Amino acid sequence: MALSRQSRLCGPKEFSRVFEQAVVSADAGFKVLGRLAEQQNSRLGMAVSREVDKRAVQRNRLKRVIRESFRTHYLSDPPRPPAADIVVLPRRQAVAICNEQLFDQLASHWARIDERLRNVKDAAIDGANRNPVAGHA
């Protein structure tokens, strides 16, 4: 089942926006980049190149697992705050890992990205709430 258009990053500008100021979670199987979304919902982008595996069957398997894991974590009811734009970059080692372990790895990435984005959001809120004139007489 495909993700709806509103749940996908479409176009180079949207990917570039994530790459510019991303929080990163990485391991041997994946590099996951996240950024607070400008919309109300979370969106997913993937870049699964032929360098990951020459066989389209394996690349498509990785994409299916990533989409389903994303759908389970970010698009469940109720939606998880904060809304995030996520880009997933699988690595060569991911092809050799079974689907169950891939789901486990992605779940830990989602948790790390969520925590780091909450910290970014809290820092932005704290910075906006500070009065820059206070303390200066």
The owner of tokens 């993700």 is 3
Q: How many structural domains are present in the chain?
A: 1
136 is a domain residue: no
Q: How much is the average pLDDT of 72-82?
A: 76
Measured CA to CA, the distance from residue 84 to residue 74 in angstroms comes to: 9
Residue 127 has pLDDT above 90, yes or no: no
The one-letter code for the residue type at 66 is I
Measured CA to CA, the distance from residue 117 to residue 111 in angstroms comes to: 10
Residue range of the domain that includes 89: 5-124
- Say what the pLDDT of residue 116 is: 93
CATH code: domain of residue 98: 3.30.230.10
Residue 100 has pLDDT above 50, yes or no: yes
Ramachandran angles phi, psi of 98, nearest 5°: -70, 160
Residue 137 has pLDDT above 60, yes or no: no
Q: How much is the average pLDDT of 48-53?
A: 96
